[in-house]
Amino acid sequence: MTRLPYDGLPRFILMLAGLILTAAAQAPNQWPDLAPERYVMAHVDVETTGLDPAFHEMVSIGMIYTDLEGAEIGRLDLRIMPAHPERIDAGARAVNAFDPGLWRRSGAISEAEAVRRIRAFHEQMRGGRTVLFTAYNVWFDQAFVTALLRRHGAEWRDMYHYQVLDIPSMAWALGLRHLRGTNLAAAVGIPDETRVPTEHTGITGAAFNVAIYRALLARRPAR
């Protein structure tokens, strides 16, 4: 065990006391169950050139920020030109119809510009509140957003709360044992997300996630 020198002990005690007082001052419960107005949800969906965030890249991202009751605050829809379009996986192309020529004609932006817009949008929408990253299969979207930000000098953790929210997990807790979006949409009575590749983008996915979230909220037991 590391021992503090005697002359360092008073300083350590003062530091510890300061941390305790700071925590106590912040404690008047800022968790979402007691202070929902302090939180915002970022409903995120990404389209990529494949499944590996260390190799593949993002080609589209949709972000819809809401309050905890699902009321929309704002949305961002970006089409991104990857640095390595040749890495597109056939399965990914079948889902999102990625094509470099089409992307250029559609006004796709660079990764650096996408990060700039994402960060600006995030700051505008959060308004000093804590943001909860929410997605369908959240690990996937989080991994790609983390990789994108990091390649351009930003960190995911500097923007979002360390805990993330997963849409299928919310449904699972309500007894809806569906993992596929199509089946879950049918179970909660909302239209499925488009399966037309040329129309399937990050923003259609984010809007679909918000719709499911609202439908799940409607199933909450009466208080």
pLDDT tens digits, 44-85 = 999 999 999 999 999 999 999 999 999 999 999 999 999 999
Quick one: pLDDT at residue 6? 44
Q: Predicted confidence band at 27 (pLDDT cuts at 50, 70, 90)?
A: very low
Q: To the nearest whole percent, how much of the chain has pLDDT over 70?
A: 87
Distance CA 82, CA 87 (A): 9
Q: What is the mean pLDDT of residues 201-212?
A: 98
Task: Mean pLDDT check: name the lowest of 6-15, 68-77, 82-91, 106-115.
Answer: 6-15
Residue 153 scores a pLDDT above 90: yes
pLDDT at 18 over 80: no
At 221, is the pLDDT very low, low, confident or very high (cuts 50, 70, 90)? confident
- Compute the CA torsion angle 156, 161, 163, 168 (nearest 10 deg): -80
Give the three-class secondary structure for 172.
Answer: helix
For the chain, give the percent of residues with pLDDT over 90: 85
Angstrom distance (rounded) from CA 189 to CA 205: 17
Distance CA 93, CA 100 (A): 11
Q: How many angstroms separate the Cα of 146 from the Cα of each of 27, 46, 120, 152?
A: 29, 12, 16, 10
Asked if residue 23 has pLDDT above 50, the reply is no
**For residues 138-157, average pLDDT:** 98
Paired with 43 in beta bridges are 64, 134
Q: How confident is the model at residue 2 (pLDDT cuts 50, 70, 90)?
A: very low
Query: Band of the pLDDT at 14, cuts 50, 70, 90?
Result: low
Q: Tokens at residue 168, please?
A: 């299928």
Could you tell me the strand order of the sheet in which 165-166 lies? 72-79, 58-66, 39-48, 130-135, 165-166
Residue that has been written with the tokens 């305790």 in this structure: 20
How confident is the model at residue 12, as a pLDDT? 55
Domains and CATH numbers, the chain: 31-218 (3.30.420.10)
Worst-scoring range by mean pLDDT, 3-7, 73-77, 209-213?
Answer: 3-7
Quote the DSSP letter at residue 49.
S
Concatenated DSSP letters of 159-170: TS-SS-EEHHHH
Q: Mean pLDDT lowest for which of 24-28, 39-43, 140-144, 171-175?
A: 24-28
Nearest CA to 160 out of 123, 128, 132, 134 is that of 132
